[in-house]
Structure 1
Amino acid sequence: MKKIFLMLFLSGLLSIPAFAQNTDWVAQNGRLKVKDGKIVNSKNVPPQLRGISLSWSIWQGRKYYNPQVVSWLQSDFNINLLRVSMAVQPDSGYLQQPAEQEKLVVKTVDAAIANGLYVLIDWHDHHADQHLAPSKAFFTKMAKRYAGKPNVIYEVFNEPEKIAWQTVKDYATQVIAAIRKYDATNLIIVGSPTWDQDIDVAAKDPIKGYENIAYSFHFYASDPNHQEVLMKKADEAIAAGLPIMVTEWGVGEANGNGEFNLEKTNNWLAWMERNQLSWANWNITDKNETTAILQPGASIKGKWKPEALTPAGQYIRTQLRKLNH
């Protein structure tokens, strides 16, 4: 950890930029849509949103699902995109406690809207194809509530495991149909096999018949298995005209821990900038892990001082304050 802090200090990443100015990003960009293989704003320009993902809405990350944290992320970290990662299958997740999870999600999404943010409603599930009925029921409620709110983006399947693209596609198509009964326009994000890495496979056979559908791509910047080969998959999908959003990425490795390699992380960040890809970094929790933004015991009300942030938190905060303008 000391080595990481030293690297960040020497590279100027521990300096504190001028305080971020409050911006209503949605008023500025309007409703997102897909045009010519890219996610664009109301002026047909890629907005390149940058933000943070809340952690699973259970376990340690749950306590940060509140309006104070959302406001602090907007005003201090200068995010313009928040990902709300509703846990589905684990104990206390949506399958066991649907009313409680829905209430938590709605409270957090409403706070994001009040702060002028775009917000991803993420069905955070590795086996969503096995939970089609509850997924359709949940997204039907969300579409009824948020139709007409340009802030809202629906992410219908977080990280399918090693299953066939056709299985993901069949599931997603049915959930999309449920959403489109009530929300005809808001952006919908679809996952791809192998934890959102086989984006090139989706690019060869994308969903047809619906507008404003994009696809998620995930990587962990320091993971030795998430380097040139994985980047090439995404490059192929982009070249094929597939609209992509990086709905989750971390500075560490795929298990959430491991090394924080500054060079590899900067390389991936530069790649997203070159391709004008919107992204949400993983994650707001105080767990003792490489990708956690917060040190153990960080306040549940935001207002974190620099020492309450991990090396990942210091890095991501600095990048967001620099890049979102």
Structure 2
Amino acid sequence: MKRMFVTLCMLVVFNLYVSHSIFAQKDIVSRYGHLSVSGSYMMGQYKDTVQLRGMSLFWSQWMPQYYNAETMAWLQNDWKCTVIRAAMGVDEDGGYAHNPSIEQEKICAVVDAAIELGMYVIIDYHSHHAHKNPDMAKKFFAAMAKKYGKYPNVLYEIYNEPLQDASWTNHIKPYAEEVIAAIREHDPDNIIIVGTRQWSQMVTEAAADPIKGTNIMYTLHFYAVSHGQYLRDEAEKAMSMGIALFVTEFGDCDYSGNGEIGYAQTEEWFAFMDKYKLSWCNWSVSDKNETASIIKPKAGISNWDDYMITPSGKYIREELIKKYNADLQKKKK
């Protein structure tokens, strides 16, 4: 009896989170609807410029506990996330290449929750070597597009971080064209985000030789302590050449995910992203013992009190809430 009572209480609490989230924020997808790309901007269905802000989940095979509706509802309601990135590990031990059905089910759980909650969600093919096996990526994304292509919530990130030895012209772009074609067979218009060379930083290479098609964006990643003005200059130049960028992953520390938090450096990036209406996802929803994690070990999958949240988590949560409230005020005017 006691176990049944506890389970019932947990279900009631979760449903309250969901219902409150839908009441307060269901309107992210209903507010903006189907997203599209116009020049260097993401646009909503009703012709307003859209800037999404949220969190990236950690590699799915190593932090599976957060790939669930309860965590999604908490991130929406308490952290005011408007987008979640589901980072499906591919090549590394235990990833999609080794356990395709298990990893795909995790992504589906997150996407289903996002649709129910009225959030946007990025289906991220979290690989450093995706171009070496395009058939595997095509199979995965075709299945995702066939299942979810009718929903405005979904964006596809088809290559997380190509390495520096990959060629845009010879490797990344041909791979992307194949995968995009597989998606477009089932989903003609949801946004597709393409990784760029050198851990998704060499965005001017993509701008100089862009992929033909509509509603295509390009990935820009940074870690604020390691990547400064030179990378913002690269991004600014790429946008001036006509492509749209989405910061699908960034950290407020160095590129290793560790070291000190660079508050001043991250503030420079926040100002830059706000200036150009760049959407972003912070890395990451994880309790790993590293600077970039937003929660401490054994914090659980939701209901995070302050003492459970890392310094990075507190900093990012504050930014998410502040900007979410600012956007609401603008909407009321």
Whether 2:246 is the aligned partner of 1:245: answer yes
2:13 aligns with none
Alpha-carbon contact 1:257-1:290 (below 8 Å) kept: yes
1:96 aligns with 98
Whether 2:225 is the aligned partner of 1:222: answer yes
Secondary structure, in 3 states, of the residue corresponding to 2:24?
Answer: coil
2:36 aligns with 33
**Alpha-carbon deviations, 1:193-225, whole Å to 9, x = none?**
0000000111111001x21111110000112xx
**Alpha-carbon deviations, 1:297-324, whole Å to 9, x = none?**
1112x01011111011001111111101
Deviation at 1:51, TM superposition (A): 0.4
The one of 128, 142, 145 aligned to 1:143: 145
**In 2, Cα distance between equivalents of 1:185 and 1:157:** 18
Alpha-carbon contact 1:220-1:249 (below 8 Å) kept: yes
Whether 2:195 is the aligned partner of 1:191: answer yes
Alpha-carbon contact 2:41-2:277 (below 8 Å) kept: no
Alpha-carbon contact 2:150-2:187 (below 8 Å) kept: yes
Secondary structure, in 3 states, of the residue corresponding to 2:189?
Answer: coil
Matches within 5 A, 1:241-280: 241-280=242-281
1:64 aligns with 66
Equivalent residue letter for 1:143: A
1:114 aligns with 116
**In 2, Cα distance between equivalents of 1:147 and 1:266:** 36
Secondary structure, in 3 states, of the residue corresponding to 2:140?
Answer: helix
Alpha-carbon contact 1:295-1:309 (below 8 Å) kept: yes
**In 2, Cα distance between equivalents of 1:44 and 1:235:** 23
Secondary structure, in 3 states, of the residue corresponding to 2:54?
Answer: strand
2:210 aligns with 206
**In 2, Cα distance between equivalents of 1:109 and 1:148:** 13
**In 1, Cα distance between equivalents of 2:243 and 2:50:** 17
Equivalent residue letter for 2:285: I
Matches within 5 A, 1:73-92: 73-92=75-94
**In 2, Cα distance between equivalents of 1:194 and 1:77:** 31
Pick which of 152-161 and 237-246 moved more: 237-246
**Alpha-carbon deviations, 1:141-194, whole Å to 9, x = none?**
000001210000000000100111111000000000000000001000001000
The one of 168, 183, 191 aligned to 1:165: 168
Segments of 5+ residues of structure 1 without an aligned counterpart are 1-18
Segments of 5+ residues of structure 2 without an aligned counterpart are 1-19, 329-333
Alpha-carbon contact 1:35-1:44 (below 8 Å) kept: no
Secondary structure, in 3 states, of the residue corresponding to 2:218?
Answer: strand
**In 2, Cα distance between equivalents of 1:62 and 1:270:** 33
**In 1, Cα distance between equivalents of 2:210 and 2:276:** 20
Deviation at 1:47, TM superposition (A): 1.0
**In 1, Cα distance between equivalents of 2:40 and 2:57:** 28
Deviation at 1:36, TM superposition (A): 2.5
**In 2, Cα distance between equivalents of 1:101 and 1:194:** 26
**In 1, Cα distance between equivalents of 2:106 and 2:264:** 37
Equivalent residue letter for 2:178: Q
2:313 aligns with 313
**In 1, Cα distance between equivalents of 2:93 and 2:24:** 37
Q: Hey, which bits of structure 1, 4+ residues long, moved more than 6 A?
A: none
Deviation at 1:63, TM superposition (A): 1.2
Alpha-carbon contact 2:157-2:192 (below 8 Å) kept: yes
**In 1, Cα distance between equivalents of 2:305 and 2:192:** 35
Alpha-carbon contact 1:22-1:74 (below 8 Å) kept: no
Equivalent residue letter for 1:297: K
**In 1, Cα distance between equivalents of 2:125 and 2:150:** 20
Whether 2:302 is the aligned partner of 1:298: answer no
Q: Percent identity?
A: 42
**In 2, Cα distance between equivalents of 1:198 and 1:45:** 28
**Alpha-carbon deviations, 1:53-93, whole Å to 9, x = none?**
0000012x221111110000000000000000000011110
Relative contact order higher in (CA < 8 Å, ≥ 6 apart): 1
2:185 aligns with 181
**In 2, Cα distance between equivalents of 1:185 and 1:268:** 30
Higher helix share: 2
Deviation at 1:44, TM superposition (A): 2.2
Secondary structure, in 3 states, of the residue corresponding to 2:96?
Answer: coil
Report how many aligned residue pairs link the two structures. Answer: 302
**In 2, Cα distance between equivalents of 1:252 and 1:227:** 12
1:55 aligns with 58
Alpha-carbon contact 1:294-1:313 (below 8 Å) kept: yes
Secondary structure, in 3 states, of the residue corresponding to 2:141?
Answer: helix
**In 2, Cα distance between equivalents of 1:313 and 1:158:** 22
